[in-house]
């Protein structure tokens, strides 16, 4: 009887450890996807401007408040842009990413707006660039998609 009780306790400990390994696997998978997503965003930011400043870099739950919803990256970089950035973003930069298999969508802006905004998607990855021509700055951000 005592052996059975010890065996039962040991199997319970082993099973409780499995849950933590699953969490580590999820975290490891989320981090691997985040590394790739950061590389895509950094590439877009480098093509668009200079002096990159990471303003947000966080792996968080896919649905706020629901710890079991999976993990997702929020990554945002600000860059300083040149005078030709408003033409380059929807031009040669968008063409480069389209040639790499990204779907590119230009957000509608009112005529005379000082903003140019594009979104990029490829598989689970999404990126966006919002350029403000009046202050010569752009925000570039993205995600690798929810990892479950």
Residue 33 CB-density burial (10 A; 0-12 exposed, 13-18 middle, 19+ buried): buried
Highest CATH level, class, for 23-143: alpha beta
DSSP 94-112: HHHHHHTT-EEEEPP--TT
pLDDT bucket at 6, cuts 50 / 70 / 90: very low
| Domain coordinates in residue numbering, the chain | 23-143
Q: What is the pLDDT of residues 90-117, one digit of tens each?
A: 999 999 999 999 999 999 888 888 999 9
Q: What is the pLDDT of residue 67?
A: 85
Query: Which has the closest alpha carbon to 43: 129, 136, 147?
Result: 129
Answer with the residue of higher pLDDT: 41 or 65: 41
- Mean pLDDT, all residues of the chain: 87
pLDDT at 1: 41
Determine what percent of the chain is predicted with pLDDT higher than 90. Answer: 76
pLDDT confidence tier of residue 23, bands split at 50, 70 and 90: low
Distance CA 127, CA 105 (A): 11
Question: Which pLDDT score, from 0 to 100, does residue 16 have?
Answer: 38
């Amino acid at each position: 009887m005592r052996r059975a009780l010890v065996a039962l306790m040991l199997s319970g400990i082993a099973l409780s450890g499995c849950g933590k390994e699953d969490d580590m696997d999820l975290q490891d998978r989320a981090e691997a996807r985040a590394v790739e997503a950061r590389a895509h965003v950094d590439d877009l930011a480098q093509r668009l401007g200079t002096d990159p400043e990471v303003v947000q870099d966080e792996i968080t739950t896919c649905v706020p408040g629901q710890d079991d919803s999976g993990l997702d990256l929020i990554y945002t970089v600000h860059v300083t842009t040149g005078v030709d950035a408003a033409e380059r973003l929807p031009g040669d930069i968008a063409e480069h990413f389209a040639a790499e298999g990204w779907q590119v969508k230009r957000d509608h802006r009112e005529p005379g707006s000082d903003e140019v905004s594009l979104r990029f998607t490829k598989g689970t990855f999404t990126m966006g660039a919002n350029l403000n021509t009046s202050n010569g700055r752009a925000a570039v951000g993205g995600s690798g998609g929810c990892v479950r």
